[in-house]
Amino acid sequence: MNDDKMKEPQDNAVDEEVAREMEGVPEHLRDDGGEDEADNADDALEQALESLRGDLEAAKQDALYARAETQNVRRRMEKDVQDARNYAATGFARDILSVADNLGRALDAIPAEQREDEKLKGFIAGIEATQRELEKVFNQNGITRIAAKGMPLDPNQHQAMMEIPTEDAEPGTIVQEMQAGYMIKDRLLRPAMVGVAKKPD
């Protein structure tokens, strides 16, 4: 019992001495705040990691968007190159159509009775051969004539120039072709100029 009483003042003296020594020690180095500092450091580390994860995810998204955009640009360029190849002859083809028109008019202008004339046979054969050769070149370049007579009017391919009253065809049906129309592959080169049936008054 007496021993315990003697130790008590000594313990108090030690506590007071430790307290005096701790007065000069900075707050962040004291043992009492060590656990708090460790927790704060863990929180800061976790926040930094979370920020890095967010940055990484954003960088991944940016990389995906950039790759998708690059693929889109490449596809557009490939399509532009293909279109340039397919439709490079469009301007020339449109100009040469008048030659095909004139050859057709020349043949149509020859009366049927004169086609048997020996003097004209060679001339007619030459025009027909030129017309066939021109059609062959058209086909090689993807230029095709638009079907017109007997077809229903298609505003995407036909241009109605007049209405013709008739009982022989349904209204809206093409009964006359004034000028042939042509496509170059899947694009309209020139619409067919046509006359369309309508009911007589």
Same domain, yes or no: 61 and 76: yes
Half-sphere exposure in the Cβ direction for 90 (13 Å, CA): 14
Q: Residue 77 falls within a domain, yes or no?
A: yes
Q: What CATH number does the domain containing 153 carry?
A: 2.30.22.10
Same domain, yes or no: 43 and 74: yes
d(CA 78, CA 86): 12
Number of domains in the chain: 3
Per-residue pLDDT of the chain (201 residues; tens, 9 = 90+): 445 544 455 555 555 655 555 555 455 545 554 566 677 777 888 888 888 888 899 999 999 999 999 999 999 999 888 888 878 888 888 899 999 999 999 898 888 888 888 888 888 899 999 999 999 999 998 999 999 999 999 999 999 999 999 989 999 999 999 999 999 988 999 999 999 999 987
* pLDDT value of residue 138: 92
Q: Residue 158 falls within a domain, yes or no?
A: yes
Same domain, yes or no: 79 and 60: yes
Put residue 158 in one of left, alpha, beta given phi > 0 → left and psi -120 to 50 → alpha. beta
Same domain, yes or no: 75 and 96: no
Q: Kindly report the backbone phi and psi dihedral angles of residue 157, in degrees, each rounded to the nearest multiple of 5, phi listed first.
A: -130, -20
Q: How would you list the strands of the sheet with 187-190, edge to edge? A: 143-145, 182-184, 187-190
* pLDDT value of residue 97: 93
Domain that holds residue 124: 89-141
The candidate with the shortest Cα–Cα distance to 82, out of 186, 165, 154, 156, is: 186
Q: Kindly report the backbone phi and psi dihedral angles of residue 26, in degrees, each rounded to the nearest multiple of 5, phi listed first.
A: -60, 150
Same domain, yes or no: 38 and 75: yes
Same domain, yes or no: 158 and 192: yes
